[in-house]
Amino acid sequence: MFSLANKHAVITGGGSGIGKAISILFAKQGATVHIFDLNQQTAEDTLQVIRDAGGHGDFHNVDVTNQQQVIDAFAAIGTVDILVNNAGIAHVGNVENTQEADFERVYNVNVKGAYNCFYAAIPMMKAKKSGVALSMASIASSVGIADRFAYSMSKGAVHAMSMSVARDYLQDGIRSNTISPARVHTPFVDGFISKNYPGQEAEIFEKLSKSQPIGRMGSPEEIAYLALFLCSEESGFITGSDYAIDGGFIKLNN
C-alpha cells in the first residue's frame, strides 16, 4: 500500500523540518524526490539519508519566489507526478506592527512561491492527465491565531489557490488538497522561539506545546504520513479537501 514507485515528486523546502520528513518517506515508498531548496547543506544531508536507504533524489537550488528559476527547474526534471508546496516562512505581528516589507516577504515566499510551482507543474500534469498537488496550509487558515496577521493571510491564500486548482483541473486527472498542521516541533520552531522570545525558550515551548488539546506538538513524521496518503493512489477519491492535523486544536480548543 501507499507505493510511489516510478513517481517523480517535487518537494519545496524539502531539506529540513516537515519537508525533510516528507522527502525521506516519499523516497522510501519508491518516489524519485526532487528537493527545491536554498540551503544546499540541509538538502544534501537529507538526500544522503535517502541514498543510504537505497532511495533516489536530487537537489535543485531554487528560489521559489523566482518564477523563471522554478520553470527552469521543472523543465530540467522533465516530468512531475507529485507537487508538495511546503516551503514557507513565518512572521509574528498583528496588522498594526506588521511592516510592509515583512508582509511582502511572507507573501512572496508562501503565496507567490506556491503559485510559481503550480504555474510550472500543472501544465506538465495536464499533458499526461494525472497528478497530485499537496500544499501546506495551516490551522491559521481556518481560525484566528494571535499575532500571525501576515502568516495567516498567506496560508489562507495557499488554501484558496489549492481549492481553485482542484476545481479547475477535475477533468484533467489532477487532484489538489491541503494539510493544515497546528504546531509541529521542527528546527524551524526552535529557531523561531529563540529569535522572538530570547531567554524564554523553555517557557514558550511549553506554552506552545500545551496550546494543542492533545498536550504536545506534532512531529514532522506524523505530517509526512498524512502527506503520503494524500499523494498516493489510495486517496484517489479525494480532491478539494483540507485536512487538519492539529491535536484537536480547531475542534476541541474552546
pLDDT one digit per residue (tens) for the chain, 254 residues: 999 999 999 999 999 999 999 999 999 999 999 999 999 999 999 999 999 999 999 999 999 999 999 999 999 999 999 999 999 999 989 999 999 999 999 999 999 999 999 999 999 999 999 999 999 999 999 999 999 999 999 999 999 999 999 999 999 999 999 999 999 999 888 988 898 899 999 999 999 999 899 999 999 999 999 999 999 999 999 999 999 999 999 999 76
CATH ID of 8-181+219-241, from 1.20.1070.10, 3.40.50.720, 3.40.190.10, 3.30.110.70: 3.40.50.720
Longest distance between any two alpha carbons in the chain, whole Å: 54
DSSP string computed for 207-227: HHHHTSTTSS-B-HHHHHHHH
Per-residue model confidence (pLDDT) at position 187: 86
CA dihedral 178, 185, 63, 138 (to 10 degrees): 30
Pairwise CA distance, residues 55 & 221, whole Å: 17
DSSP string computed for 59-89: EEE--TT-HHHHHHHHHHH---SEEEE----
SS3 92: coil
List residues with catalytic annotation.
Answer: 151
Query: Phi/psi at 94 (nearest 5 deg)?
Result: -95, -175
Parse the chain into domains and list their residue ranges.
Answer: 8-181+219-241, 185-217
184 neighbors 204 (Cβ within 8 angstroms)? no
